[in-house]
Chain A
């Protein structure tokens, strides 16, 4: 979403994205915005892999992807960018390969590492929107800090068991992740129960939030936390206010 005029679409792009350009408030102008936009997705496992896949399918111009480590058998119930043949090899290479198969026009910056305090600022600087999908709070909070500091919107997607959660941070306008969870909660464990279909659901919704933010359509989940339970098919959306004492976006942080 650079300030420059979004680029024209090629005939191939018009043919590829025809059906979504029929969405009335999106159209060719929205498609050009997607082509001109860059999104950071980290990690690209179950949730992030789905989000990245749908962003690639939608014609996003550039994806900045961060995910370290090698593919394990236990990844394969949910991480759809990884393949059985890739077990023991780099996850980010497997993800990049699958995304290029889907969209060869896509520009990919593939980082074979997790997001941390050391690299978050540089990664966020390369993108217009952040989609946070990491299984550790330290990574999500690092992306949140950098996004708030740089004024970049952040979509937070998370899952557990048969449930998913989604919220959107508009820096300076809505609660940030640290307003909800200022530090790593001791109750969260890195490995958790989940089905791949839950990852797909919440990842696809996260991709749609990013598309809405880039194209300027609909109402993003800013100031709201949506929870979905696929066990009961119940959804709840709660309002979340900014915390004036938030160490990242509160009054103290602005001094």
Chain B
């Protein structure tokens, strides 16, 4: 299935683009998506999204169609979903 990815804040800087369209296995969950994107991009994006155990960091934030979708909560993504990927920021 096909998803539209939007990168925000530090994730955008690390991915080097505002977003992209990707293919992922049907039934994939947000945690699978985060792992796939981290693997595809590697480098800084991977280190931002994944901890040393290769699991999404607690701080990695995903929203699906405008609704926050925590990685630790099981949820199946659907073809055509718009997924935003972001990290907590505190710039003041």
Interface residues of A (CB under 8 A from B): 43, 45-48, 132-137, 140, 157-161, 163, 165, 180-183, 185-188, 192-194, 199, 225, 227, 229, 231-232, 234, 236-241, 243
Contacts and interface: CB of A to CB of B under 8 A. Distances in A.
A54 to B, nearest CB: 15
Given A225-B68, A239-B66, A240-B68, A187 B91 contact: no
A48 B90 CA distance: 12
Nearest to A137: B90
A159 B89 contact: yes
Nearest to B92: A133
B9 interface: yes
A181 B88 contact: yes
Nearest to B47: A187
Nearest to B89: A160
Contacts of B13: 161, 193
B87 A185 contact: yes
Contacts of A239: 66-68
Contacts of A234: 18
A161 B59 CA distance: 19
A232 B67 contact: no
Given A161-B13, A227-B8, A229-B8, A188 B89 contact: yes
Contacts of B87: 185, 187-188
B55 to A, nearest CB: 14
Given A185-B59, A186-B59, A241-B68, A236 B6 contact: yes
Interface string B34-77: 00000000000000100000000111010100111010000000
Contacts of A231: 18
Contacts of B58: 182-183, 185
Residue in B48, B63, B89 whose Cβ sees the most chain A Cβ within 10 Å: B89
B90 to A, nearest CB: 5
A186 to B, nearest CB: 7
Interface string B10-51: 101100001000000000000000000000000000001000
Nearest to B51: A186
A180 B58 CA distance: 9
Given A160-B89, A193-B13, A243-B70, 17 more contacts: A43-B92, A45-B92, A48-B92, A133-B92, A137-B90, A140-B90, A157-B92, A160-B10, A160-B91, A180-B68, A225-B68, A227-B8, A227-B86, A231-B18, A236-B8, A236-B66, A237-B66
Given A186-B59, A239-B67, A180 B18 contact: no
A181 B60 CA distance: 9
B84 interface: yes
B77 to A, nearest CB: 15
B59 to A, nearest CB: 3
